Structure 1
Amino acid sequence: MRESAIPVRSAVPSVSHRVRSAARRIDAATPSERDRAVDALRALAIAGVVLGHWLVTALVADGGRLRTASPLQDMPWLAPISWVFQTLAVFFLVGGHVATKGYVSARARGMSYRRWLRARLTRLFKPVAAVLVLWTITAAGLLATGTGVDTVHALLKLALSPLWFLLVFAGLTAATPLLVRLNPLWPLAVVLHVDLVRFGLGGPSWLGWVNVAAGWLVPYTLGAAWTRGELERRRAGWILLVGGAVATAVLVAWAGYPASMVGVPGTPVSNLNPPTLAAVTFGLAQCGLALLLRASLRRAMRRPTAWAVVALVNLSAMTVFLWHQTALMATTATGLLAGRLPGLHTVPDGLGWVAARLVWLPVFALALFVCWAAFRVHEQSGAYEQGGGGPRRSRVVRAHRPSHGPSHRAAPRRARRV
């Protein structure tokens, strides 16, 4: 008599089950007072910058050297890509909101400005040392093995380009006590007058560098207005979105500003380096959209899996930001061993390159994951604080270590902020 086969359920949990369980633990460990929409906006801003760089940055193998190029040079109709992925204004909006909220909270607890600032800057710059050390060694090694100075310069410029953002962000953070109540219209007026002088009156080009501070001060002070409760009504978001979009369209269509919101090699004017009035008005539109999305993001972040992804990105936001260009270059250099590969080493001059580059994105992501695994230890546990500001670790999630042994059952559990 043949025995019937009885299915046996595996005692080993599936991968998807383990992922869902981990997501539920992160969700349960998140403080109830945390505004998850803020973290979601920060994660979206970081993702936009990373994907934008990977899509519009090309390292072309030209003879024995590598040079930078952009698909926006030969395909300017791809400019809308920059409208989606140039998300720095959202990052400064969130940064201004978090910094001003944290500063006000710290002062209410009697914390000194120096102590508050040291805590924030330490959190910001701690991961930078590893990047500088690795690229100093890499550059020295490349030069010692005969690599051309032009190639080394191109690589260093890409690898270290994220540092300009940190310097500007650190400067605005240090000035937070002066910016808590500053109206965003003041720095916007500065940007307007700078562009009028340098473009309308033929003023010196170096004057544009004033906009590096003034231009990013606009979304930063919008974040302060958010903290003050001035942007809670949806009308504020709509005014920023519609007003910024219309102003940007007018500046591009009739004032001669570039349509691309990122720099394009070979063009006389860049909207980003230094920021122009068009980049700032475009940032206003982005900030308006971000404010309008807050309620939807809060609902989406109730899903444990979605929140777990956002929380993990926030835990390593600086690591991801600082190493994403290195991941691209590591993939490009490794690929040279197999020859000149399309979408990686070829000139970005057609849709074939775009299709090939999309195929490379998962490879870049894998390389970034390796960098993250190797260097995330240099970033403090916990993401940016939303309301604290002290030297303690910030509270994205709180994990509890259960006590062991019967003698400790009644003892309170010690919280570990992760």
Structure 2
Amino acid sequence: MPELRARWAVLAAGIDRATPAGRDRTVDALRAFAILGVVLGHWLVTALTSTDGGLHTTSPLAHIPWLAPVSWVFQTLAVFFLVGGHVAARGYAAARGRGVSYGAWVGQRLGRLFRPVAAVLTLWSVVAGGMLIGGAELDTVRTLVRLVMSPLWFLLVFAALTAATPLVARLHPVWPLAVVAGVDVWRFALAGPESIGWVNVAAGWLVPFTLGAAWSRGALAGPKRPLFLLGAGTASTVALVLWGGYPASMVGVPGSALSNLNPPTLAAVSFGLAQCGLALLVREPLARAMRRPSAWAKVALVNLSAMTIFLWHQTAMMAVTALGLLASTDLPGLHTVPDSVGWIAARLLWLPVFAAALALCWSAFRAYEQPRRTRQPATTVPGGRAPLAAVKEPLAPVKESVHV
């Protein structure tokens, strides 16, 4: 254990030294928080039950409604779009200043997003085909593929908004917010077509994205505006849930008549505004924390593989669930119906196992997120025997990377 701590200290110090002095580490910290929040949220509120010889999706939120506040903690996509808008607007402005064309800029940014996606789609095409050939039930295969593909809608929206940065970077957030409100009034108060709600897939996430762009211009400096976002967003969300008929859960619940997320509703967007306000308010404490090499190294390493973690976390959970079937079809917290506090306790015990499976996926597929690099010859820690290849490898991406 002391040797591992020594290795980690060397790695953390190296990453700290390799980080450009002008890098805003709080941006990376917020992104890491948003990604890990989504991962933990999915692992906690998504359950695969073994019934009728197949696997079916359900959620503890469908059986234990008082768990809805859990979704408030782990629904962190608004923070991701806030950071994305900030980084895209700042990056595009810097690219223009260097004479980089729009095509080159957007190609670099979208390539970082979609290289890992290709690996996921390829593997799961093979897995799904093999399962069907092997006699697996169509419903089971459909359930698994749907869970894998569900994060991709978010990436498509994020990619579209990133590509549209030159058009939307100076758009005031009040305009897409007004679109979301108008669509909800049309859907719910005027009995408009349900299909109109899909306008909010773009408009809803454009709100935090344009907030991020405003942040990059310095429009959200100081505590007043973030405090207003936190207060107004919180009050609006509470009012919409208590008196507007919106669900309390900020994620989709199987069997629910209305979802706040699919497509985004005004309640989800107002909740996102509160989250963005809170994120901007905690920047100073985060900045102080990120000055510690150990804390910063953890955030930097998560960011270097953010898309890999995001894309493969559902696969990790499903792999553990499927392997568990070899031992029993009724493992608590894994295959059983999530309808009790006991299930919650059991699921918490499975989280480290999911994390270990995700680590294996990360080891296998993280290379797709970074350009291939020439491996440096191994060296040793002074006074020790451990090769430093694992220490040096992450440093070049930290030096060269832009916020993604």
TM-score (norm 1): 0.89
Residue 179 of structure 1 is matched in structure 2 by: 168
Residue 295 of structure 1 is matched in structure 2 by: 284
Provide the secondary structure at the position in 1 that maps to 2:284.
helix
On the 8 A contact 1:315/1:381 being kept in 2, the answer is no
Give the partner amino acid of 2:361.
Answer: C
Provide the secondary structure at the position in 1 that maps to 2:325.
helix
Provide the secondary structure at the position in 1 that maps to 2:48.
strand
CA distance in 1, matches of 2:6, 2:134: 50
- Offset at residue 63 of structure 1 (A): 2.1
Provide the secondary structure at the position in 2 that maps to 1:375.
helix
- Offset at residue 22 of structure 1 (A): 1.3
Residue 386 of structure 2 is matched in structure 1 by: none
Residue 356 of structure 2 is matched in structure 1 by: 366
1:362-415 Cα distance to aligned partner (Å, 9 max, x none): 000000000000000101159xxxxxxxxxx9xxxxx9x99xxxxxxxxxxxx9
CA distance in 1, matches of 2:202, 2:284: 30
Percentage of identical aligned residues: 67
1:174-227 Cα distance to aligned partner (Å, 9 max, x none): 110011210000000000000000001100001100000000000000000001
Residue 342 of structure 1 is matched in structure 2 by: 332
CA distance in 2, matches of 1:54, 1:417: 29
- Offset at residue 109 of structure 1 (A): 1.0
- Offset at residue 160 of structure 1 (A): 1.1
CA distance in 2, matches of 1:164, 1:368: 21
- Offset at residue 13 of structure 1 (A): 6.4
1:246-301 Cα distance to aligned partner (Å, 9 max, x none): 00000000010000000000111000000000000000000000000111100000
CA distance in 2, matches of 1:60, 1:302: 44
Confirm or deny that 1:267 pairs with 2:275.
no
After the TM superposition, list the runs of 4 or more consecutive aligned residues in structure 1 that deviate by more than 2 angstroms.
Answer: 415-418
Deviates more, 1:166-175 or 1:16-25: 16-25
CA distance in 1, matches of 2:138, 2:352: 30
Provide the secondary structure at the position in 2 that maps to 1:262.
coil
Confirm or deny that 1:152 pairs with 2:121.
no
CA distance in 1, matches of 2:396, 2:174: 42
Aligned residues: 380
CA distance in 1, matches of 2:63, 2:102: 50
Residue 90 of structure 2 is matched in structure 1 by: 101
Structure 1's 39 and 82: CA in aligned 2 closer, same or farther, altered over 3 A? Answer: same
Confirm or deny that 1:163 pairs with 2:152.
yes
On the 8 A contact 1:198/1:207 being kept in 2, the answer is yes
CA distance in 2, matches of 1:241, 1:143: 49
**Where in structure 2 are the equivalents of 1:323-342 lying within 5 Å?**
323-339=312-328, 340-342=330-332
**Where in structure 2 are the equivalents of 1:272-291 lying within 5 Å?**
272-291=261-280
Provide the secondary structure at the position in 2 that maps to 1:79.
helix
Residue 36 of structure 2 is matched in structure 1 by: 47
**Where in structure 2 are the equivalents of 1:180-259 lying within 5 Å?**
180-259=169-248
Question: Which of 57, 63, 66 is the matching residue for 1:74?
Answer: 63
Question: Which of 272, 293, 301 is the matching residue for 1:304?
Answer: 293
Rg larger for:
1
1:128-149 Cα distance to aligned partner (Å, 9 max, x none): 1110011001100111111111
Give the partner amino acid of 2:150.
Answer: S
Runs (5+) with no aligned partner, structure 2: 380-394, 399-404
Confirm or deny that 1:117 pairs with 2:96.
no
Residue 83 of structure 1 is matched in structure 2 by: 72
On the 8 A contact 1:158/1:325 being kept in 2, the answer is yes
CA distance in 1, matches of 2:20, 2:153: 33
Give the partner amino acid of 1:354.
Answer: I
CA distance in 1, matches of 2:135, 2:397: 48
Give the partner amino acid of 1:359.
Answer: L
1:150-171 Cα distance to aligned partner (Å, 9 max, x none): 1110000001111101100010
